[in-house]
A = this chain, B = another copy of it.
């Protein structure tokens, strides 16, 4: 029997989950839950009901894994613990500094409900975290580096849009080639924020807006841009729509380390992603972990889990025998 999935929240990530489910025959979509008026929402899968989030508890026992597709700032800190009492939930909570607190809240709540839950699944946190852990475990005498991009940062794009005179904007985070080369050389360089990434902004301004003032406000914005080399391009709304409508992303996790009697041998472990669609790839990771979570639930596990807890075989629809014969 297929694993029954519910989607809670239908933005970019929710739509990505829906697509990913359609690529995995062992998973089936039971319902999409929304805080909007359900009748206002048309989803991509025929025959699947759109249900008000208020009615979610009527789905207890009808869903194996509920995938939470809200945002990390305000949605997930409330939704994941609340829903973990009643369902096996999985989220993509990505505020790194607040993961331990989120974990504790979800763990307590999942245990109270006798459920298993998983947080912070995606690519960072997620696959990048897994690769940082693996590489650090293999090469204890080493150093690791994470680079992001080239890709769209929604948070930075939003920050530009809040500037007076800006109609729309897209911001790309770009790893600097010199920094990547220095890391790959194995010399374990210490790199400043400015040395690692470049920020490139495509901005649509209102007619008659003071472009030099907007550019200055972007480049001097604390936390977001002040510590980076930032390039600002002013373009038309047509150009923005034509050339910058995608949501690509990606990045690199690199660890360099030494082995040998006198640590005379260097090694480089590199994991990289190049993604046309950040939300669809994130969704694809989550859906594989939803499969694993359903299995952990069948085994009777309770409490909060992360990618660090999942035996890799649980992610695959293939039998263990197939994995041994074809992938090991």
Contact = CB atoms under 8 A, between A and B. Distances in A.
Contacts of A316: 133, 136-137
A83 to B, nearest CB: 21
Contact of A310 (B264, B275, B311): B311
Given A133-B315, A259-B277, A267-B275, A328 B120 contact: yes
Contacts of A271: 131, 270-271
Contacts of A317: 137, 140
Question: In the complex, which range does the number of interface residues on chain A fall in?
Answer: 35 or more
A325 interface: yes
A209 interface: no
Interface in A92-121: 96, 99-100, 103, 120
Given A140-B23, A259-B19, A315 B273 contact: no
Nearest to A274: B268
A291 B138 CA distance: 11
Interface stretch (A62-70, A148-156, A279-287): A279-287
A125 B325 CA distance: 11
Given A23-B141, A24-B140, A310-B311, A127 B134 contact: yes
Contacts of A311: 308-311
CB-based closest 9 A-B pairs: A265-B276, A137-B315, A308-B313, A259-B280, A265-B277, A268-B274, A137-B288, A129-B328, A137-B316
10 contacts: A19-B261, A100-B324, A138-B315, A265-B275, A268-B272, A268-B274, A271-B271, A306-B324, A308-B311, A308-B312
